[in-house]
Each structure stands twice: as C-alpha cells, then as structure tokens.
Amino acid sequence: MDRPSEEILPQQPPVIEPGYTFATITDKISSIVLTRPVSNGWLIGFGISFLIVMVFLYAVGYLFVRGVGIWGVNIPVGWGFAIVNFVWWIGIGHAGTLISAILLLLRQAWRNSINRFAEAMTIFAVACAGMFPLLHLGRPWLFYWLFPYPNTMKYWPQFRSPLVWDVFAVSTYATTSLLFWFVGLIPDLATLRDRAENRAAQIVYGILAMGWRGSARHWSRYETAYLLLAGLATPLVLSVHTVVSFDFAIGIVPGWHTTIFPPYFVAGAIYSGFAMVLILAIPIRRFYGLEDFITERHLENSAKVMLATGLIVAYGYGMEAFMGWYSGNRYDSFLLWNRLHGPYHVWYLLLLAANIFIPQVLWIRKLRTNPLALFLISGVILTGMWLERFIIVVVSLHRDFLDSSWGMYYPTRWDWVTYIGTLGFFTACMFLFLRLLPGISIFEMRTLLPEAEVKSR
Amino acid sequence: MSTFGVENRATMAPPVARSIETRSLLVGVVFSGIAIVGWFLRPDEFFRGYLLAFMAWLGVTLGSMAILMVRHLTGGGWGMVIRRILGAAMRCIPLMTVLFIPILLGLPRLYPWARDLSTIADPHLRQHVEELTKSYLSTHGVILRAAIYFSIWNLLSFLLTRWSREQDRPNPRDNSSRFRAVSGPGLILYAFSLSFAAIDWVMSIDPSWISTIYGLMLLIGELLSGMCFAVVVERILVKYEPMSEWLKPDYVHDHGNWMLTFVMVWAYFCFSQLLIIWAGNLPDEITWYFRRFHGGWSAVGIALIFFHFVVPFLILLSRPFKRDIRKLVWLAVWLLVMRWVDLVWIIEPNFSPTLTLNWADIILPIAMGGLWMWFYFHNLNQMPLLPMYDPEAREVLVPAHE
C-alpha cells in the first residue's frame, strides 16, 4: 500500500474552528442579539450613520422642493451621479446573491457563515440603488408610471427601452432577494423566539417565525422552498446587471455601445460585491469575536473571487481599448484618447490603478489571509468600481460626436450629500441588522459540524 | 488495491482505444487524400473548409486544456475521473501546431488583408484595411502572433503533462500546488491568447467589423466542445475496466451540469451580441448580422437557436438524463455537431452571400478529425487513465454509494 497518506493532503484552514457543539454555536450567535448589552462602539457607529441618514433626508427634501436642477446634471451629461451610484450599489448587491444562491447550488459549505449578512447587504444595497433612479425621475411620486398598467391616459411604457427592462429586473431582484433572505431567517427567528427572555422580543420574533416548530415536515418543506428560491435567484445574478449594462450598450455613444458589456458588467458587479462583503466581514468578525466562524478560509476565498472577477474586468478594458484602436473608428479612438488625456484623465488613471493594478497583489497568499490588507484592498476596489461607472457615464457623454455639443460635468454638493447619505443609510441598516437579527445563520453553521454529517448519504 | 503503477495494465485504457486509434488513422488518411486532391482542383473551397476544420478541432483541444486547468483550481471528483481524457486532448496541441501551417499557405485565399488591397471596391474600407495591414494585420504580424499563441499553449500543455506524469509513480512531493500555480495564470493566458487568435484567424476575414465579445463567444464554444468530447470518450471507456469501476452517476451529473452551464453561457453571449448590435443598428456593425439574416443563412441561425440552445437546454434540465452516461452521450455528440454548425455560421457567410455548403466543409473536418482522433487515442494509450498518486485520486477509487 504505497498510496499517498492523509498527511500530504494540502492543509486548508477550516470553515469553522474546532471545539464547537450545536449548543455553543447557537449561544455564541444568538447572544449577540439577545443578551449582549449595547456597546458604546455600536452606539457611536449607529449614531454617526443615523446622522448621515438625517442629512440624506434633508438633501432629498430639498431635492423635492427645488427639483433635479440642484444636481450637476445637464446636457450633454444628463446622467450623472444618480446613475453612477445606482449601478455601483446594485453591483454590490450581486455578491450577496452569488454567495447565497450560486454557492449553495455548488455545494460550497464555506458560504454558510457569510451568506446571512451578505444577503442583508444585498437588500440594503438594492434599496440604496433603487432610490437613485426614483429621485432622478424629477417627480418620484409618479414612479408607478414606469409599470405597464391599464390607465385612462392611454399611456404605455416604451418596451424597447432598456430603462423599462431595468424596472422589471430590479424589482424582481429586490423581491426575490427579500424572500430568500426572509425564508432563510425563519428557523433562526424561531430559535430567537425560544431563547428570548423579554416578552416583547418573544412576540415579535414569534410572529416573524411564522409558527416554525422544527418538525421533520417543516424542515423538508423548508429545504425544498430554499432550493427553489436559490434556483430562481441564480439567473438574477446574471440578468440584473446584464440589463443594467444594456442601459448603456443599447445606445450608440462610443464607450457605451460595445458587445462585451454584459459579461463585463456582471463580473464587475461581483468584484465590487465581494469587496463590500470583506469591508463588512472583517470588522464584524473582529468586534463580535467571530473569528472562529468567519475564518481565514472565507477571507482567502473571497479574495480569490475578487482576483478572478477583477481579471475579467481587466479583460473587458483590454478588449475595449484594443477594438477601439483596431476598428479605426475615429470616435472610438477618440474616446480612448479622451480617457487617457482628456479633462478626466486623472480619474481614469486612478481607476486603472484601483481596479486593475493594485488588486494584483492578491496573488500573494500572505495578503489574501491578512485581514487589514484585505480591508484596505477592498476599499481600493470599491473606489475603483465607483470610478469605473463614473468614467463610463460621464466621460462617454461629455464629448460625443459633435464638438459643438461638448461640455463638462461637475457634481454639486447635493450630489455628494445624496451619495454619502445612501452610504449612511446602508451602514445604519447594517448596524440595526446586527443587533436585531442573527448576523450569521445559526442552523446552517450547525450543519458544518462533523456530527451533523448524515452517515447514510 | 495493492500496487498501482505504470506497469499495471488495469489502469490503462482498454484495447478498444487501440483499435479506434488505427481506424481513425485510416479515416484520416483516406479523407486527407480526397482533401489534397481538392486542394489542387478547388483551392478556395479547400482553405475555407480547412479553416473550419481547424477551428473545430482546435476548440476540442484547447477547451479540454481549459477545463483541465479549471479542475486543477477547483478540485472535485468530476474532473479527476476525466483528467486523463482531457489531458490526452490537450496533448494534441503539437498536432494542431503543425496543422496550422497550411493556413499560412492559404492566407491570401482566406483574408482580404493578405490580398492585393487595390481590389477592395469601397474606398473607406480600403483605406482602413491599408492602415490595419501596416500596423497589425500583416502576414508577418499574424505569423509572429501565431507563434506566440502556440508557444503559450504548448508550454502549458507540456508543464501540466509533465507533472501529471510524475503522479503515476510514488512521488514524494505533492504536485497540486504546482498545478494550481500554473492553472490560474494559464487560464488568463488562454483567454487572452485565444481571443486574439480568434481575431486574427476568424474575425479578420471581415476586417471592417468588430465585436468586443467575439473572443469570449469562441472561448465558451471551445469549453463546450471540450466537455462534450470528454463525455463521448468516457462513454466509450465506461464499457470496460477500469472506467466502469470509477465513473459514478454523480460525476456524469456534474459533466451534464457543465454542459448545461456552457450551453447557457454560449446563448447568453450570442444573445447579448445580437441585441446590442441590432439595437444600435450602426452601418459598420450590422453588416455581420445582415449577411447572416439573408440568402438562406437565417435558417442556420434559427437552427442554432433551437438546436444549440433551446432543445439541449430543456433536455439538460432533466436530472435522470444527466446522470445516465448512455443518454448524455447522445446530446454530447449532438452538441459537437452543433459546434460545427456554429462555426459554419461564423465563417462561411463571409465568403458566400447565399447558403452554401461545399464538399470541403464536410470532407476537411472529417479528414482532420481522423488524424486528430488517431493522435488523441495514441495519447490516451500512453498514460494510465488515472494519476494514481495524486492525493485526490482516492475519491474516484472509493466504490460508489449507489
């Protein structure tokens, strides 16, 4: 028997550190919600984000009074920060769906400790994203005109416009993500209901748990429903950002009209989404002592996903630049020149650095497992992906075919406040989520323990 | 399981592989003979058919290499059980390198940029092609770049094969990390080199037209060809020891899922390109579809929608179908035929405005296929069907639960 022995198998860090039992997992995760006192750190963090939400509401209120003229958008750049932020936020949401749905179908057990808060991240990110097109409508209270419904105005949406497809794509995405998240929460809500000491908590969690008793029949139905939802959510990972890319690619503006956009946008979305997952996971595991559940393995796997998707994005840049030159189309060549030498060239160079060059350090394994380094690189990637949308939207629009219609775009302070405001809204929601709901799936973590293995499979 | 070694016949390909090897050579030689006669009689048609055949068989070769590299990165029994099947296809790269040479002889027959440019009627197009031939699409440039692509592919194949061969013997070091270290950058190199090769060899037949997703479209087609071919070979081998012991329904299921994924991504890329170009309707882009929507070519396009996507997609949703290799193999053969149809639809309308199929479009793929299969089964017979000393091989050797 000279077959290789167990020892020479490559040692990967575990998805859960040894020494836990079903009960200690439940204790550890549920205590964050039920028994731990509110810490000063949480209060300060939540307080600051809540203040930013107030500033956001002020900016939105002022927008409703004065109209979109307070933003920097004007001809030729009719789409400014609003669409940039919309695409940025919706892209971030994609990692949550990828982790919860696709990795579930691919039987990747390591996802179990990060799927819950990644899904929450998706929902909050989609909420932030959805606000921008609505605010940009000018009269957001008439948003329902976007839907095809029988009305006396003989009015019907233009179905050939990708902006209408967007309405369907994003609303489907928001609904499915919310359902998926809630269905996944039910068994854990029942755990919280059973463990809560305080009457109000018992009632609220009890209502949300929808009568879950944990019987075999419940579990069997639950597993079926969850798998079906995962199947429904999987195409959304591709379709939503594909439709978002059509918003641009269907047009004929150089820099927008290129066939690589759909896969390149999807890859970019997952790229920024995983960066956001790490930006959230790294502080959460540190402050709540969850290093045993969100291990080095999770950090490294997320880093690898970022590296891979980042390279697809690089392929997109490369192909677009090459074809711009190869086609000999003067507008495409000018776009390339304008990006590199035009008035926004600093942002373009920063984008290349942040999205393509700096993340290449993730080839080094030491950095993939170093939380601080990953946190910083993720921040760089998120900035880079925001800049990418800025370049695509603004630089393509500001100098089009006729130089008589060229112009510049300058974001106003209201643009910035609205954008930062959604960041505050997102963080405030995450703070509340961490205190009110189990941030890591309790029952799915229990399935990671060796004793959860069913022998007869 | 006491001794597993190269000397152990039980792990080698069954004798049937050797008889296929001989028969393939026979088919290859006979059809090549016809093809060579055709070369002298109708050289234009010969080279079109040659390019078609070359792209089709290059697809199986490189697709197998890419799937192999994906396996090295992700692990999993599905990939271990077909690893040597894919590896034998990857080792056909030297053959494809040699078979590329005739294309160089036919450059002026295939590509407008290699011909006398003064024959191009449209002055704008002529000017554009003139500029391109000075900078990029020159004969020297194409040869130089082809040398680079083939060096990359041969080097990847050489390294992966060499380390794989070490796993046939007791080996003190674990090669998994080496495989991973090469496969990550290898996939990137593959994506870039194939995309530029696709531009040089196929897209430049129409030098006025571009599409940035083009390389990815050909790439996903290659992955699909590679997986389908592996399924066909595993069907042949599963009738005999040792594959009959190793191939479990779970693995076949995974192979079916890969086919489903590739079919879906293929449709996604093709649809994206169609929708964006159709909606833009720009004169220098729409030409590609304009040619393919007229003169009978639209029938091929519609056939592709249904038989390269809709029907395989619906069939592959069935779980019992995917788990049964005897059923799955039919779809794999079907999809390999559809890969050929797809390449016909990509290449041929550039030459003929009406739907035509030449003798060469059929004879050449069979001739090259015969030679390729001969080389392939020769490769397959060289090494055991499983690298026994790979730590992950154990998973395949454990008897099935079902």
Whether residues A250 and B284 touch (CB distance < 8 A) is answered with: no
Is residue B58 in some structural domain? yes
Cα–Cα distance between A385 and A399 in angstroms, integer? 22
Cα–Cα distance between B315 and B307 in angstroms, integer? 11
Whether residues B391 and A4 touch (CB distance < 8 A) is answered with: yes
Q: Which residues in chain B are contacts of A315 at CB distance < 8 A?
A: 191-192, 195
Is residue A17 in some structural domain? no
Q: How confident is the model at residue A155 (pLDDT cuts 50, 70, 90)?
A: confident
The pLDDT assigned to B148 comes to: 97
Place of tokens 């030409």: B287
Whether residues B216 and A2 touch (CB distance < 8 A) is answered with: no
Residues of chain B with pLDDT under 50: 1-7, 402
How many independent structural domains does chain A possess? 1
Is residue B38 in some structural domain? yes
How many independent structural domains does chain B possess? 1
Cα–Cα distance between A228 and A274 in angstroms, integer? 24
The pLDDT assigned to A105 comes to: 79
Structure tokens at A270: 């997952």
Is residue A210 in some structural domain? yes
| Amino acid letter, B306 | F
Place of tokens 């390389």: B215
Whether residues B2 and A1 touch (CB distance < 8 A) is answered with: yes
The pLDDT assigned to A451 comes to: 75
Chain B positions touching chain A (beta carbons under 8 Å): 1-4, 128, 131-132, 136, 170, 174, 176-177, 184, 188, 191-192, 195, 199, 210-216, 268-269, 272-273, 275-277, 279-280, 282, 284, 388-391, 394, 401
Name the least confident of A12-16, A80-84, A206-210, A395-399.
A12-16
Whether residues A257 and B268 touch (CB distance < 8 A) is answered with: no
Q: How confident is the model at residue A12 (pLDDT cuts 50, 70, 90)?
A: low
Place of tokens 């809540």: A50
Full residue range of the structural domain in which residue A382 is found: 34-448
User: Sign of the C-alpha dihedral, residues B201, B202, B203, B206?
Assistant: positive
Mean pLDDT of chain A: 90
Q: Is-contact B213 B155, C-beta < 8 A?
A: no
Full residue range of the structural domain in which residue B11 is found: 3-397
Percent of chain A at pLDDT > 70 equals 96
The pLDDT assigned to B400 comes to: 56
* Nearest neighbour of A9 by CB, restricted to B131, B191, B391: B391
The pLDDT assigned to B195 comes to: 96
Beta strands in A157-233 (DSSP E): none
Name the least confident of A29-33, A45-49, A272-276, B289-293.
A29-33
Distance from CA of A454 to the nearest CA of B (A): 13
* Nearest neighbour of B177 by CB, restricted to A10, A311, A329: A10
Please say if the pLDDT value at position A4 is more than 70: no
Q: Which residues in chain B are contacts of A262 at CB distance < 8 A?
A: 213, 268-269, 272, 276
Q: How confident is the model at residue A88 (pLDDT cuts 50, 70, 90)?
A: very high
Nearest residue to B289 via CA among B315, B271, B265, B268? B271
**Preferred mutation among B276, B285, B389 to probe A, highest tally of A CBs within 10 A:** B276
Whether residues A242 and B214 touch (CB distance < 8 A) is answered with: no
The pLDDT assigned to A2 comes to: 40
Whether residues B276 and A258 touch (CB distance < 8 A) is answered with: yes
Is residue A27 in some structural domain? no
Q: Is-contact B83 B386, C-beta < 8 A?
A: yes
The pLDDT assigned to A6 comes to: 41
Distance from CA of A221 to the nearest CA of B (A): 20
Is residue B85 in some structural domain? yes
Is residue B360 in some structural domain? yes
Q: Is-contact A210 A201, C-beta < 8 A?
A: no
Please say if the pLDDT value at position A13 is more than 80: no
Distance from CA of B251 to the nearest CA of A (A): 14
Q: Is-contact B370 B26, C-beta < 8 A?
A: yes
Cα–Cα distance between A178 and A161 in angstroms, integer? 27
Whether residues B213 and A252 touch (CB distance < 8 A) is answered with: no
Q: What is the pLDDT of residues B80-122, one digit of tens each?
A: 999 999 999 999 999 999 999 999 999 999 999 998 888 888 8
Average pLDDT of A253-267?
94
Structure tokens at A427: 């963080």
Is residue B402 in some structural domain? no
Q: Is-contact A426 A280, C-beta < 8 A?
A: no
- Nearby residues of A164 by Cβ (< 8 Å), 6 or more positions away: A146, A157, A158
| Amino acid letter, A258 | T
Please say if the pLDDT value at position A377 is more than 90: yes
Average pLDDT of A446-453?
79
Distance from CA of A260 to the nearest CA of B (A): 4
Is residue A26 in some structural domain? no
Is residue A113 in some structural domain? yes
A49-54 contacts, C-beta under 8 A, 24 or more apart: A49/A424, A49/A425, A49/A427, A49/A428, A49/A431, A50/A424, A50/A428, A51/A424, A52/A420, A52/A421, A52/A423, A52/A424, A52/A425, A52/A427, A52/A428, A53/A421, A53/A424, A53/A425, A53/A428
Average pLDDT of A170-198?
93
* Nearest neighbour of B195 by CB, restricted to A238, A249, A319: A319
Q: Which residue of B has its CA nearest to A161?
A: B279
Please say if the pLDDT value at position A137 is more than 80: yes
| Amino acid letter, A11 | Q
Distance from CA of A263 to the nearest CA of B (A): 8
Nearest residue to A389 via CA among A4, A154, A91, A28? A91
Is residue A64 in some structural domain? yes
Tell me the ipTM for this assembly: 0.92
Please say if the pLDDT value at position A216 is more than 90: yes
